[in-house]
C-alpha cells in the first residue's frame, strides 16, 4: 500500500471516528426533546389551558424581603440576596382532581429556577378541583439581573411523558420593566395567611 493511500485511510478513519462521537453526543439530546411535555403558551392575565388543567397568572410582585405573620402577630422577616418573585395564580382542574408539579420560573437564556424552598414559606402543592378556580402563590428567589423575560412554567405532579401538558406563561417583564422592578423592589412584602 502506498504512502498516499495510507494517509487517505488514516484521515477517513479519524473523520469517521469524529462523526461517530458527534452522533453519540447528539442522539440523547434529540431523544430528550421528544419526551418534553406538550406546552400551552400564554401571557399574564389570560387563562392558559391544557387538557388536564388551566392556569391564569393574576399578579406578579417583586420584593427584597418577605415577612410572614405568625403566632401572636410576631412577623418573621426573610431577606433575599437577590429578589423574591411572587407569582399569584388561579388554577383549576379540567377533568379530575389535579396537583401541580414541576413548577419553575424560566428566564432569558432558559435559566430555570425552582420554588424558593425556604421552610417558612407556604407550600402550594395542594390539589385543585375540577371546574373551580382556586388561588395559588409561587415564590421564587432569583438574582436581580435575571428578571427580564421571565415566564412561569407549571406541569403535572405525575410522571412526565410525551403527552402530558405544561403551561408556559409570559409574565410580561421586558428589559425596562424588569430593570425598574429590580431597582425598586418592595422592601417588605407581607404574605397573606389564610
Which domain covers residue 7, as residue numbers? 1-34
Same domain, 162 and 69: yes
Grid coordinates representing 176? 425596562
Look at 34 and 47; give whichever has higher pLDDT.
Answer: 47
What would the mean pLDDT of 14-23 be, rounded to a whole number? 82
Cα Rg for the chain, rounded, in angstroms? Answer: 23
Residue 89 has a CB neighbour count (10 Å cut-off) of 24
Residue 133: closest CA among 162, 158, 98 = 98
| pTM, full prediction | 0.76
In this structure, what are the phi and psi dihedrals at residue 25, rounded to the nearest 5 degrees? Answer: -80, -25
All residues at 6 or more sequence positions from 171 whose CB lies less than 8 Å from its CB, including other chains: 44, 57, 60, 87, 150, 151, 152
Reported as a single tens digit per residue, the pLDDT across 42-92 is: 999 999 999 889 999 999 999 998 888 777 767 788 888 889 999 999 999
Residues 161 and 70 in one domain: yes
- What cell does 29 get? 439530546
pLDDT band at 102 (very low <50, low <70, confident <90, very high): confident
Count of domains forming the chain: 2
On whether both 73 and 15 belong to a single domain, the answer is no
The set of residues, in sequence order, having a beta carbon less than 8 Å from that of 151 and lying 6+ positions away, is 105, 106, 107, 168, 169, 170, 171
Amino acid at each position: 500500500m502506498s504512502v498516499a493511500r495510507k494517509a487517505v485511510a488514516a484521515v477517513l478513519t479519524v473523520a469517521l471516528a469524529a462523526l461517530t462521537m458527534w452522533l453519540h453526543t447528539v442522539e440523547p439530546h434529540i431523544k430528550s426533546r421528544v419526551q418534553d411535555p406538550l406546552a400551552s403558551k400564554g401571557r399574564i392575565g389570560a387563562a392558559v389551558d391544557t387538557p388536564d388543567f388551566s392556569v391564569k397568572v393574576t399578579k406578579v410582585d417583586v420584593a427584597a424581603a418577605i415577612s410572614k405573620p405568625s403566632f401572636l402577630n410576631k412577623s418573621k422577616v426573610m431577606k433575599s440576596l437577590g429578589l423574591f418573585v411572587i407569582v399569584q395564580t388561579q388554577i383549576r382542574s379540567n377533568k379530575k382532581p389535579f396537583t401541580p408539579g414541576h413548577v419553575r420560573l424560566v428566564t432569558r437564556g432558559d435559566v430555570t429556577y425552582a420554588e424558593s424552598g425556604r421552610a417558612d414559606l407556604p407550600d402550594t402543592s395542594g390539589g385543585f378541583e375540577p371546574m373551580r378556580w382556586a388561588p395559588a402563590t409561587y415564590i421564587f428567589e432569583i438574582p436581580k439581573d435575571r428578571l427580564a423575560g421571565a415566564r412561569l412554567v407549571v406541569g403535572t405532579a405525575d410522571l412526565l411523558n410525551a403527552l402530558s401538558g405544561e403551561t408556559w406563561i409570559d409574565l410580561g417583564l421586558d428589559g425596562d420593566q424588569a430593570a425598574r422592578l429590580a431597582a425598586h423592589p418592595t422592601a417588605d412584602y407581607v404574605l397573606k395567611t389564610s
